[in-house]
Amino acid sequence: MSERQLLVGPFNRVEGDLEIRLEVADGRVSAAYANSPLFRGFEMMLTGRDPRDALTITPRICGICSISQSAAAALALADASGAEMPEQGALAASLLHGVENLADHVTHFALFFMPDMARPAYAGRPWHARAVAEFTAQQGSVARALVEARARLFHIVGLLGGKWPHTLAIQPAGVTRTPDARDKVRIQTTLRAFRRVLEQQMFGAPLEEFVALETVAALDGWDRGAAGLFLEIAADLGLAAMGRGTGRYLSAGAYPMPEGRATRAGVWDAGEVRPFDPSEVVEDLSHAWMLGGAAHPSQGVTEPDEDMRDGAYSWCKAPRLDGRTVEVGALARQVVDGHPLALALATEAGVRARIAGRLLEIARTQIWLEDWAARLDPSARFMGTWEVPKDGAGVGLVEAARGTLGHWLSIGKGTIAGYQIVAPTTWNFSPRDADGVPGPVEAALVGAPVGAEETTPLSVQHIVRSFDPCMVCTVH
């Protein structure tokens, strides 16, 4: 039996800093440890400030999930103050958020995940020449077309929200800019242009055809666009069986609107869906460089262990739901929402399922955005009134591109008394808990093949990137 240890980093094409320590036995990963090697302390910065400042500060936790952070802060403040968005304000906020999520998925596919397929290590594979032409880092024709289209898609945020990232447009009681009819047709024009690029480059077909897929066999038969290239690669490299998760999925439900959230909230476990009860969330600190005990986020504190004690190995806390790990993200969201294709992939739960879940959500989000833009009513109110309470508490739960994001806020004497954030990648890239149970990515890496000469195993890269981690959110 051969054994060795690998330290993988700097791990790039993930958002932020990530280090993975691997134990390898007989050519396979036997144990993995995910370290988020950066601490900034946003929750500490917020304490004592005017509660409204959370709307300016929390988006700056993350430059790729900025609107998600902003939307969660606005919801937490709304929950604490009783503020409500007018219907059209909620619609505009969802448009802003949906554009970010859609852009993030496209960025992940084109810039973070696919460039690995153009690596020389895969030369000789039947699909390699096409992967090189289309997805070589900074050069690939499809990657470039998608990056250019993404920049134009963000014109919607420029118009409705001033700029991206770090807009302050989303407030607890609505949005700061009231679109007029001309803005509405501009937004629709931008969306139609983005659909054209998606259909030409990403899917090679009308989006509705991809959304209509219901079975793994139908997915296997999809051979058009970049999605077809990915599925061909997935079949050849065995990405379906690679990096399998636990198959427990959480979603808080995406895009709160007056008529309810656009996707269902819940916890999917072995075919059963149960309601998501946020009171079941506990953050375990046993393997994090954090002081204090396990606590619900409403009671939690953030106090870094300056001595970086032995036994701990990450600045990331370990959230557990009812004591167990859950996976969050596009696949989780689509599974909980009950999309047939996602349900068909729910137990496959590997690299292919995660990427396919994201592709599915790209197509569905584009269609939602078109629907919401059509529903914009320039004659309506987009902002109501609200006041900061002297005392209170609130929670804001949203779905970022990478999964469930929660802000737990308490206000005392008119300032922030406590602020705890549980980000999507905090769930997915959590370290072990007090029972020694590894976090989702740590578990998914076990069994990954490692070549004798490999120092940065390709299988490990595919698995890690299939989660689309955002480490800067994780460690806030």
Partner 1 sequence: MNVLWLQSAGCGGCTMSLLCAEDPNLFDTLGDAGVSFLWHPALSVETGAEVAAILKAVETGELPLDVLCVEGSIVTGPKGTGKYHMLSGTGRAMLDWVRALAPMARHVVAVGSCAAYGGITAAGGNPAGAIGLQYDGHHTGGALPDDFRSRSGLPVINVAGCPTHPAWVTETLLLLAADLMGEGDLDRYRRPRFYADHLVHHGCTKNEYYEYKASARELSELGCMMEHLGCVGTQAVGDCNIRPWNGEGSCTRGGYPCIACTSPEFEEPGHSYTETPTIAGIPVGLPSDMPKAWFMALASLSKAATPKRIDVNAHSDRIRVAPAPKREK
Residues of this chain, 205-224, that bind partner 1 according to CB under 8 A: none
Considering only CA atoms, which of 352, 292, 287, 358 is closest in space to residue 325? 287
* Residue 37 within binding range of partner 1, rule CB under 8 A: yes
- By CB under 8 A, the residues from 107 to 146 that bind partner 1 are 107, 111-112, 115-116, 118-119, 136-139, 144
Judge whether 69 and 405 are in contact, CB under 8 Å: yes
Q: What angle, 0 to 180 degrees and rounded to 10, lies between the N-to-C axes of helices 351-375 and 330-337?
A: 70
Binding mask 448-467 for partner 1 (x = CB under 8 A): -------xx----x------
Binding mask 303-342 for partner 1 (x = CB under 8 A): -x-xxx------x---------------------------
Considering only CA atoms, which of 94, 107, 104 is closest in space to residue 401? 104
- How far apart are alpha carbons 315 and 330 in whole angstroms? 25
- By CB under 8 A, the residues from 95 to 114 that bind partner 1 are 107, 111-112
Residue 53 vs 214, nearer CB to partner 1: 53
- How far apart are alpha carbons 313 and 18 in whole angstroms? 12
Whose tokens are 């619609």? That residue is 91
Which residues, in sequence order, are CB contacts of 259 under 8 Å at separation 6+?
Answer: none
In the set 24, 67, 165, 355, which binds partner 1 (CB under 8 A)?
165
- How far apart are alpha carbons 64 and 456 in whole angstroms? 25
* Residue 166 within binding range of partner 1, rule CB under 8 A: yes
* Residue 429 within binding range of partner 1, rule CB under 8 A: no
- Min separation Cβ 44 and partner 1, Å: 4
- Min separation Cβ 176 and partner 1, Å: 3
- How far apart are alpha carbons 43 and 172 in whole angstroms? 19
Residue 109 vs 249, nearer CB to partner 1: 109
Which residues, in sequence order, are CB contacts of 46 under 8 Å at separation 6+?
Answer: 53, 54, 57, 58, 416, 419
* Residue 16 within binding range of partner 1, rule CB under 8 A: yes
Residue 397: φ, ψ to 5°: -115, 125
- Min separation Cβ 16 and partner 1, Å: 6
- Min separation Cβ 403 and partner 1, Å: 18
> What Rg, from alpha-carbon coordinates, does the chain have?
21
Helix ranges (DSSP H) in 273-384: 330-337, 340-345, 351-375
* Span from 24-32, 165-173, 227-235, 444-452 in contact with partner 1 (CB under 8 A): 165-173
* Span from 40-48, 218-226, 235-243, 353-361 in contact with partner 1 (CB under 8 A): 40-48
- How far apart are alpha carbons 462 and 441 in whole angstroms? 12
- By CB under 8 A, the residues from 226 to 265 that bind partner 1 are none
In the set 27, 48, 238, 260, which binds partner 1 (CB under 8 A)?
48
Number of residues lying near partner 1 (CB under 8 A): 89
* Residue 49 within binding range of partner 1, rule CB under 8 A: yes
Residue 167 vs 251, nearer CB to partner 1: 167
- How far apart are alpha carbons 135 and 119 in whole angstroms? 10
* Residue 66 within binding range of partner 1, rule CB under 8 A: yes
Considering only CA atoms, which of 114, 193, 203 is closest in space to residue 151? 193
- By CB under 8 A, the residues from 376 to 405 that bind partner 1 are 378, 381-383, 385
In the set 32, 85, 160, 198, which binds partner 1 (CB under 8 A)?
160
DSSP SS3 for 210: helix
* Residue 154 within binding range of partner 1, rule CB under 8 A: yes
